[in-house]
Amino acid sequence: MRLVEEVAVTLTSEEREVVRKRLGREPNIIEWAVIEALWSEHCSYKSSRNILKMLPTEGVQVLVGPGFDAGLIDIGDGFVLSVHIESHNHPSAIDPYGGAATGIGGVVRDILSVGTRPVALLDSLRFGEIESSSHSRWLLRNVVKGIADYGNCIGVPTIAGELEFDQSFERNCLVDVMCIGAGRREEVVLPMATRPGCLVVLAGNTTGRDGILGASFASQSLDSDEEGKRSAVQIPDPFIEKLLIDALTEMFEQRLISAVKDLGGGGLATALSELAYKGGVGVDVDLSMVHRRETDMTPVEVLVSESQERMLLLVEGQKLERVSRMLEKYELQFSIIGRTVEERFVRLRWEGTLIAELPLSVLGDAPSVARASRRPEYLDTLRNTPPPREPEDLNKVFLNLLASPNISSKSWVYEQYDYEVGVRTVVKPGDADAAIIKLPNGKLAAVKLDGDSKKCYIDPYRGAMWIVSENFRNLASSGAKPCAIVDHQQFGDPGKPDVYWCFKECVRGVADYCMAVGVPVVGGKVSFYNEDLVSGRAIKPSPVIGGIGLLSDEDMVTTLSLKRSGDYIVVLGVTTGELGGSEYYEYIHRICGGEVPLVDPLSDWQLIEAVLNLRRMGVLRAAHDVSKGGLAVSLAEMAVRGRIGLTAELSKLPVRGRVLRRDGLLFSEGGSRIVVEVDRERFREAEMALRRHSVPFAVIGETGGNEISIKMNGEQVINLTVGEVEERWHYSLERLMEGYS
């Protein structure tokens, strides 16, 4: 049988030895399958967990940090917020529609696994150059459709996201989804088996051969078209997911379940083992009891199937009848497959016969894999890239930059999403730097995902710090104080010292930043092996940060559009001239290199507190962080969204370092900066507050008119009408995707 031969192929000979030693005998084929699933990189973090220890994970609001299916934050009044991030990169690369959709399904079930209900989704997507690659356009189109359809069917709004295009993602797109959940503190259950005598119930979808042989499938050529081939493709069924959400929510309210666990990578093998060893209680399960879609499945196939929309429930005996009635009410199929037991073993049976027996002590803690790490030599070359000559016509450069897929409005994407279902969405996508949702206790939270692989490629440490900085400035610009993050670290093969070094540096960047400002990391994910099988080239290092901030009240909500003519435009923070990884270098000059901006977490935090204070005082009308495209793009976005023009004088900007050229002042993404519109009549108050917060700032211009006019020492550099800018910025991505010019 082909499947049996392929079991345990990914374990190294050292790992096999450890298993034999811990067990004191040779495991049988089914036991190998369990260990292989559990000790995979995906489930065990064996190459990454020593590095992830650098991240600060504790805080007063943190109820549950990394290590479970989702992190939990106490938001007061007896309510909690849950958060998790997942990727579905490889499935999306071969089946963008189904891969992205099932990715959402998975992260939503992680939120359910801690006893909370999903309330919002965010997505972070990375593809190749869509201007030149029809393949990447096809991927983007179908990924967005997969997310939109699934999110719509399950009634969870997709409220924010982030999108980056770079050649390195041509064959390995990245599809990350973050989910926010909410619930009552007393309804929280954790995915672990803590007491013997509970029944193990498998609810939801039927178990089929989906996802089996995923790894070997991936290395086959994608153009083979055999009917009936066993397939790794998982077909999403959002209707069952919706029923699971509703049924579980009702069961949480009635306290009917002791634990819930999503079936993800490794299927039942992983879910059963994790429930058992996390809680320290054994399980005894008969796999033949599982409700199946195909009749001729082998025990191993049932064990490792990755069929979607399934969850394991642990139920006390006296509650079983109520749970059964509830599942029947929602027309969810289920099977009672076993029970938790005193003995600390995972026991698997088939029609009553014991087919596998593994002590919990063998299962937990896959041995850590020591990985070699070496700073890549290409970094020196990249860093020493000489600056390009400054173009004469910066007006033209600016228009071209606005049309870059990385900069132009992402409305083509988010207008396909149902972002308002559930009526929790307070500001619409694109209106503010972060999305804002209403929580069940009436409070507001801001959420945002950010990434910047171009910067992380040139300087992983600085790049990762810059992403956290941008994320926090986004939250603050929307009126929220950052309170926790999740991180998703995505790289190539960790066996390559260059790749592993980049991974370490990215985690160190996130850790140093969060440690300095005291914001905990409550969860995350690592995805390795994002490499092109043909060329062996890895993706650019891609940490993605999902930040959560809380708003003290509704008046704090801040949008980015200019509100009124005659107000002051104030830039908070110092402008620094590093252009490495900037869209200006990459898109306009096709330069990959230069110096990546270095951010200072402590001055960022002063800036964040200052912005929040200005808003609280009521003197701040709009706020927008300076990120991709630099100051010029930030100003343009504020003007376009508000349909009000502005004037700005670049020489007034507080700068650090050498005298900056005009292109640096316009397009640098350096420094930690936020642009704000300040009420002209109350500028004195704002000025005094900013001094108190020791935040460098300057009034660089005024709002009004219908032109965006930017000067340097009185000389015109950029002069365009708001309409001309809008035409470029708002429609470029749509034009590209819809194929009209």
Is 208 a binder of other proteins (CB under 8 A)?
yes
Is 225 a binder of other proteins (CB under 8 A)?
yes
Taking CB under 8 A as the binding criterion, the range among 117-125, 176-184, 202-210, 607-615 that sits at the site for other proteins is 202-210
For the bound state, the minimum distance from the C-beta of residue 406 to other proteins, rounded and expressed in Å, comes to: 24
Contact letters for other proteins, residues 521-560 (x by CB under 8 A): ----------------------------------------
3 vs 233, beta carbon nearer other proteins = 233
Q: 384 phi and psi, to 5 degrees? A: -90, 15
For the bound state, the minimum distance from the C-beta of residue 294 to other proteins, rounded and expressed in Å, comes to: 9
Amino acid at 333: Q
Is 29 a binder of other proteins (CB under 8 A)?
no
Is 223 a binder of other proteins (CB under 8 A)?
yes
Q: Which of 46, 84, 171, 209 binds other proteins (CB under 8 A)?
A: 209
For the bound state, the minimum distance from the C-beta of residue 78 to other proteins, rounded and expressed in Å, comes to: 37
Is 98 a binder of other proteins (CB under 8 A)?
yes
The token duo for 485 is 């993050």
What SS3 string covers 613-672?
HHHHHCCEEEEEECCCCHHHHHHHHHHHHHCCCEEEEHHHCCECCCCCCHHHHHHCCCCC
CA 498 to CA 489: how far, in whole Å?
15
CA 338 to CA 465: how far, in whole Å?
47
Residue identified by tokens 């270095």 is: 598
Instruction: Classify residue 634 as exposed, middle or buried by CB count within 10 Å of its CB (0-12, 13-18, 19+).
Output: buried
Is 239 a binder of other proteins (CB under 8 A)?
yes
Q: How far is CA 623 from CA 639, 670, 718, in A?
A: 12, 18, 22
| Angle value at C-alpha 690, between 687 and 696, nearest 5 degrees | 105
For the bound state, the minimum distance from the C-beta of residue 400 to other proteins, rounded and expressed in Å, comes to: 29
Q: Which of 94, 421, 689, 737 binds other proteins (CB under 8 A)?
A: 94
For the bound state, the minimum distance from the C-beta of residue 104 to other proteins, rounded and expressed in Å, comes to: 15
Is 5 a binder of other proteins (CB under 8 A)?
no
* E strand or H helix that includes residue 546: strand 542-551
334 vs 466, beta carbon nearer other proteins = 334
CA 534 to CA 171: how far, in whole Å?
9
Q: Which of 1, 215, 222, 688 binds other proteins (CB under 8 A)?
A: 222
Q: Give the count of residues interacting with other proteins (CB under 8 A).
A: 31
Residue 479 CB neighbours (<10 A) = 30
Amino acid at 310: R
Q: Is 156 helix (H, G, I), strand (E, B) or coil?
A: coil
Q: Which of 229, 255, 322, 643 binds other proteins (CB under 8 A)?
A: 229
93 vs 632, beta carbon nearer other proteins = 93
Instruction: Classify residue 423 as exposed, middle or buried by CB count within 10 Å of its CB (0-12, 13-18, 19+).
Output: exposed
Binding to other proteins (CB under 8 A) within 124-153 occurs at 138, 142
| Angle value at C-alpha 489, between 674 and 245, nearest 5 degrees | 90
206 vs 647, beta carbon nearer other proteins = 206
Q: Which of 18, 29, 235, 515 binds other proteins (CB under 8 A)?
A: 235
Binding to other proteins (CB under 8 A) within 376-405 occurs at none
Residue 459 near residue 557 (C-beta atoms within 8 A): no
Helix, strand, coil in percent for the chain, rounding step 5: 40, 25, 35
Amino acid at 474: N
Radius of gyration of the chain (CA): 26
For the bound state, the minimum distance from the C-beta of residue 138 to other proteins, rounded and expressed in Å, comes to: 5
Is 233 a binder of other proteins (CB under 8 A)?
yes
Catalytic positions are 42, 88
Q: 87 phi and psi, to 5 degrees? A: -120, 160
Q: How far is CA 575 from CA 181, 595, 678, in A?
A: 38, 14, 19
Is 227 a binder of other proteins (CB under 8 A)?
yes
**Looking at residue 290, what DSSP letter applies?**
S
Q: Greatest CA separation found in the chain?
A: 86
Is 210 a binder of other proteins (CB under 8 A)?
yes
Contact letters for other proteins, residues 265-304 (x by CB under 8 A): ----------------------------x-----------
61-67 long-range contacts (CB < 8 A, ≥24 apart) are 61/483, 61/484, 62/484, 62/520, 62/522, 63/185, 63/188, 64/114, 64/188, 64/190, 64/522, 65/520, 65/521, 65/522, 65/523, 66/521, 66/522, 66/523, 66/524
For the bound state, the minimum distance from the C-beta of residue 635 to other proteins, rounded and expressed in Å, comes to: 40
Q: Which of 133, 167, 231, 400 binds other proteins (CB under 8 A)?
A: 231
CA 677 to CA 564: how far, in whole Å?
9
Taking CB under 8 A as the binding criterion, the range among 31-39, 232-240, 538-546, 657-665 that sits at the site for other proteins is 232-240
CA torsion 244→249→250→256, rounded to 10°? 90
Is 516 a binder of other proteins (CB under 8 A)?
no
For the bound state, the minimum distance from the C-beta of residue 240 to other proteins, rounded and expressed in Å, comes to: 8
For the bound state, the minimum distance from the C-beta of residue 85 to other proteins, rounded and expressed in Å, comes to: 25
CA 345 to CA 361: how far, in whole Å?
9
Taking CB under 8 A as the binding criterion, the range among 57-65, 200-208, 373-381, 702-710 that sits at the site for other proteins is 200-208
CA 577 to CA 588: how far, in whole Å?
17
**Looking at residue 569, what DSSP letter applies?**
E
Is 739 a binder of other proteins (CB under 8 A)?
no
Taking CB under 8 A as the binding criterion, the range among 34-42, 222-230, 467-475, 612-620 that sits at the site for other proteins is 222-230
How many residues in the chain?
A: 741
Q: Which of 31, 95, 110, 505 binds other proteins (CB under 8 A)?
A: 95
For the bound state, the minimum distance from the C-beta of residue 89 to other proteins, rounded and expressed in Å, comes to: 15
For the bound state, the minimum distance from the C-beta of residue 95 to other proteins, rounded and expressed in Å, comes to: 5
Beta bridge partners of 550: 445, 481
Contact letters for other proteins, residues 320-349 (x by CB under 8 A): -----------x------------------
Q: Which of 45, 68, 79, 97 binds other proteins (CB under 8 A)?
A: 97
228 vs 714, beta carbon nearer other proteins = 228
Taking CB under 8 A as the binding criterion, the range among 95-103, 442-450, 512-520, 626-634 that sits at the site for other proteins is 95-103
Residue identified by tokens 């559930």 is: 422
For the bound state, the minimum distance from the C-beta of residue 262 to other proteins, rounded and expressed in Å, comes to: 18
Amino acid at 332: L
75 vs 147, beta carbon nearer other proteins = 147
**In the complex, which residues of this chain contact other proteins (CB under 8 A)?**
94-98, 138, 142, 205-206, 208-210, 222-225, 227-231, 233, 235-240, 293, 307, 331
